[in-house]
Structure 1
Amino acid sequence: MEMAIFKWHDGNVPDGVEIKQVYGLIFSNDGRLLLRVENNEDGVTYSLPGGHPEENDNGIEGTVRREIFEEVNITIRSPVIVGYQEVDEEDGQPHIAQVRMTALINGVGVVRPDLDNGKIYDRILVSPNKAVDLLGWGDVGYYQIKSAMSIAIKYLGISEFHDKEEYI
């Protein structure tokens, strides 16, 4: 069985590459990252909030805003593209892009079912280094988070990255 190959690229997706997913590396004002927490029969799974673009999203910024609101009932401000994960399924098909955007938390609503699938996800804020460990994406995940941290410093006004873990 062939496995997909993932490669990280900073910046915008080149023309002609299909964007299949848009996920958020979302920071609190004190530099902690938001992770979506799913409890299931296999244990706990950590992921970034996000999903597939829809026609009425008005671009990737609209997708990340909608998906984060639907999944974890959080609104964001100042979204900025970080880069994209190029995915080669090794099936002879063109490579696709999984976009990563960063932004700041603007508002936090109560935990409620995902508007798309009815699942309830917890939300945790963790240090960027802890997020690397919890996501378990290896080097590709490390580079995504480090790129998001650089952008957060440059464009979002974050000057420190705290390490207090907190469910919100």
Structure 2
Amino acid sequence: MPDYSWFKQPVPEGLKVKQVYGICFSDDGRVILRIEDGQYKLTGGKPENTETFEQTLKREYIEELNIELKEINYLGYFLVQENDERYAQVRMIAKIKTINEQKADPATGKIYGRELVEIEKIKTCLNYQDEAGNKMIEDAISRAKETFTKSFPYTRR
């Protein structure tokens, strides 16, 4: 079982990044979650070729959910220790620009479910069993409140 540690700093030089996932907010302050096999998940994937983190996230959201993003910001990374391997899983925050008609993911052929979830329910929906995952969610919400305050109704608690 891999061990995860959460960091808000940039990924250290030389540490391989195996995935980029995003916590993406609607204009009314909800988060879009992907539904796969009855479970809520974040959306993202593996960087291809020389893609930046932002390019990877944009591509994955189009491929998996057919959603366009804007105002993408780096949040942090998980340091993953799996057997003798160490690598990073990057997390970003963004705003949803456009939600387009659902279509099949070209990589899997699946049409994933998607749901806009109130920020108060994200932890329950994702059901992370570790402190690092839950801390990342808290940091994403906090950072979105700081970054997107002018356009987000984050007065609810």
- Tell whether the structures are fold-level matches, with TM greater than 0.5: yes
Structure 2 vs 1, CA of residues 79 and 15 (structure 1 numbering), >3 Å: closer, same or farther? same
**Superposition pairs of residues 88-127 of structure 1, within 5 angstroms:** 88-89=81-82, 91-93=83-85, 95-127=86-118
Partner of 1:21: 19
Q: 1:46: how far off?
A: 1.1
**Superposition pairs of residues 2-151 of structure 1, within 5 angstroms:** 3-39=1-37, 44-57=38-51, 59-89=52-82, 91-93=83-85, 95-138=86-129, 139-151=131-143
Q: Secondary structure at the match of 1:66?
A: helix
Quote the Cα distance in structure 2 between the aligned partners of 1:162 and 1:121: 29
Instruction: Give 1:6's aligned amino acid.
Output: Y
Quote the Cα distance in structure 2 between the aligned partners of 1:19 and 1:92: 16
User: Which ranges in structure 2 are unaligned for 5 or more consecutive residues?
Assistant: none
Q: 1:128: how far off?
A: 2.3
Q: 1:156: how far off?
A: 2.0
Quote the Cα distance in structure 2 between the aligned partners of 1:87 and 1:25: 19
Quote the Cα distance in structure 1 between the aligned partners of 2:7 and 2:53: 16
Q: 1:56: how far off?
A: 4.8
Instruction: Give 1:122's aligned amino acid.
Output: G
Q: Secondary structure at the match of 1:22?
A: strand
Q: 1:159: how far off?
A: 4.1
Return the TM-score normalized by structure 2: 0.91
Instruction: Give 2:143's aligned amino acid.
Output: I
Structure 2 vs 1, CA of residues 162 and 48 (structure 1 numbering), >3 Å: closer, same or farther? farther
For these two proteins, the number of residue pairs brought into alignment is 154
Q: 1:112: how far off?
A: 0.9
Instruction: Give 1:149's aligned amino acid.
Output: I
Q: Secondary structure at the match of 2:72?
A: strand
Tell me how large the CA RMSD over aligned residues is. 1.6
User: Deviation above 6 Å: which 4+ runs of structure 1?
Assistant: none
Quote the Cα distance in structure 2 between the aligned partners of 1:113 and 1:161: 36
Instruction: Give 2:137's aligned amino acid.
Output: I
Q: 1:129: how far off?
A: 3.0
Q: 1:146: how far off?
A: 1.1
User: Structure 1 residue 156 and structure 2 residue 140: aligned?
Assistant: no
Q: Secondary structure at the match of 1:17?
A: coil
Quote the Cα distance in structure 2 between the aligned partners of 1:72 and 1:56: 23
